[in-house]
Amino acid sequence: MDEVAPVSIDLRAEYEESGVREVLDELDRELIGLAPVKSRIRETAALLLVDRARARLGLSHDTPTLHMSFTGNPGTGKTTVAQKMAGLLHRLGYVRKGHLVSVTRDDLVGQYIGHTAPKTKEVLKKAMGGVLFIDEAYYLYKPDNERDYGQEAIEILLQVMENNRDDLVVIMAGYADRMDRFFSANPGFRSRIAHHIDFPDYTDGELGRIAGAMLDAQGYRLDAGAQAAMAEYVTLRRAQPHFANARSIRNALDRARLRQANRLFSQASPVTADDLCIITAPDLRASRVFSGGLDPESGRSKDDAHGL
């Protein structure tokens, strides 16, 4: 016996029962700031809930195009939001598995004839039923190199994005200006991507809160002097080359923990639990950022250049 279609649907109840609220609440808890990004994700969730309701009520509908472009500077949460988007799409039934496969050019493009197609197809096979996240997607396209095989990967991606859009969502990410040039040179991507989301840089205050959250998750905290030093660090580091938002803050804190450990190890007296948990101002101020020191090879702060 055929299932009788309902005559009405409570969208708020669907929102609660689908688990969408849980995913969006996780996004709010785990990511500081990014208000415009979170707003777009909520709008997308509402669109998908309405689309699902239309299908259940027997109204005409097409499977929405869900491929996306995330643009912004490094360290602004693009990969984390892609993970949450995969979970959201799974909860709403738009992807079967809800997993995220994150790749770069090297995972897709081969180095010799006949190598690219199997590499790209293997990645797509792993991503089916979920979300494929391509970071710095513009590196796929190198028109100045006639021996480059990126175009082959692009053509395979375009075909799969069109033919398998009910089983795979592709999110392409990178700097906004480079993504614009990439889409201009490859209009097939622009026509297949319906959602363009820009990730703003974090404010100084948000980066301070991010530092606090990172330390709290590891059982550390800043004393009063270190809090002032961190605020100063953020301002100075932002003005230097290759600033990577939350990524630069994580590097700075990793380096500060290393200095703290060496400071405690070198002292003669026993350490207390507080000693082991507190980052002090000297632990931070030893950074070359405060003296304007940059790595001579890369032009980066040495804290960042060494990944510490």
Q: For 197-215, what is each residue's pLDDT tens digit?
A: 999 999 999 999 999 999 9
Q: For residue range 136-189, list pLDDT tens digits in order.
A: 999 998 877 767 788 899 999 999 999 998 899 999 999 999 999 999 999 899
Q: Contact, 99 vs 86, CB < 8 A?
A: yes
60 band by pLDDT with thresholds 50, 70 and 90: confident
Please give the helix or strand (H or E) that residue 70 lies within, else none.
strand 68-72
Name the residue among 183, 276, 293 with its Cα closest to residue 241.
293
Rounded (to 5) percent helix, strand, coil in the chain: 55, 10, 35
pTM metric for this prediction: 0.86
26 band by pLDDT with thresholds 50, 70 and 90: very high
Torsions phi, psi for 35 (to 5 deg): -55, -45
Cα separation, 262 vs 221, in Å, equals 17
Name the average pLDDT for the chain. Answer: 89
Q: What is the pLDDT of residue 5?
A: 64
Torsions phi, psi for 195 (to 5 deg): -120, 115
Q: How many CA atoms lie within 13 A of 242 on its CB side?
A: 15
Structure tokens at 182: 């990439």
Dihedral class, residue 133 (left if φ above 0, else alpha if ψ from -120 to 50, else beta): beta
Q: What is the pLDDT of residue 298?
A: 46
DSSP 223-263: -HHHHHHHHHHHHHHHTSTT--THHHHHHHHHHHHHHHHHH
**pLDDT exceeds 50 at position 58:** yes
Give 56's contacts (C-beta < 8 A, 6+ positions apart): 5, 6, 9
Q: At what angle are helices 116-127 and 150-163 packed, to 10 degrees?
A: 30
Q: For residue range 269-296, list pLDDT tens digits in order.
A: 999 999 999 999 999 999 999 987 654 3
Q: Which domains does the chain have, with CATH numbers?
A: 64-199 (3.40.50.300), 204-305 (1.10.8.60)
For the beta sheet containing 68-72, the strands, ordered from the edge strand earlier in sequence to the opposite edge, are: 100-103, 131-135, 169-174, 68-72, 195-199
